[in-house]
């Protein structure tokens, strides 16, 4: 069995509301936000700071629902300041063959300036006519909102590298 990590949840462009260096670690996130995308308390997340380029991993504490709170705690507070725009990504381990056969779905929430849900959509990987198809209910780029790749049950192939 080959295990791969896939994004299963993303909070896109949330704004850091606090940075608490004295707390023992983690990130505190408004409970409404983590519930919407399916991130669990204590789950590991990657934080990508759009404002300054820093990346870090930590774990989630649920914050008070409806507050829009995004508080970076502990040593990670050196890497994010209040007002910074961040992307918070949660991954899950999946059996690659299972993904190729049955697909995978990720939830994405795009936040407004107050960390409220501005957009919510799904991104999917699914088998389709002996190929693997990526689709998004929101456009991924200006050319297309899906990509189809050839695959076998055990291996993805790219027979033609020209685009």
What DSSP designation does 151 have?
B
The pair phi, psi for residue 161, each rounded to 5°, is: -85, -5
Catalytic choice (23, 59, 91, 151): 59
26 noted as active-site residue? yes
* Helix ranges, 1-92 (H): 31-37
Consecutive H or E run containing 8: strand 3-15
* CA–CA separation, 82 and 76 (whole Å): 12
Active site residues: 26, 59
């Amino acid at each position: 069995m080959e295990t791969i990590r896939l994004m299963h949840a993303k909070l896109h462009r949330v704004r850091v509301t606090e940075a608490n260096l004295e707390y023992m670690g983690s990130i505190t996130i408004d409970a409404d936000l983590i519930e919407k995308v399916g991130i669990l308390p204590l789950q590991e997340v990657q934080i990508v700071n759009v404002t300054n380029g820093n990346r870090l991993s930590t774990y989630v504490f649920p914050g008070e629902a409806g507050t829009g709170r995004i508080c970076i705690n502990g040593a990670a507070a050196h890497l994010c300041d209040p007002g910074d725009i961040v992307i918070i990504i949660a991954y899950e381990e999946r059996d690659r063959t299972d993904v190729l056969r049955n697909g995978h779905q990720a939830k994405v929430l795009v936040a407004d300036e107050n960390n409220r849900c501005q957009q919510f959509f799904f991104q999917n990987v699914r088998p389709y006519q002996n190929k693997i198809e990526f689709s998004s209910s929101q456009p991924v780029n200006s050319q297309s909102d899906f990509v189809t790749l050839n695959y076998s049950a055990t291996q993805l192939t790219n027979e033609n590298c020209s685009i």
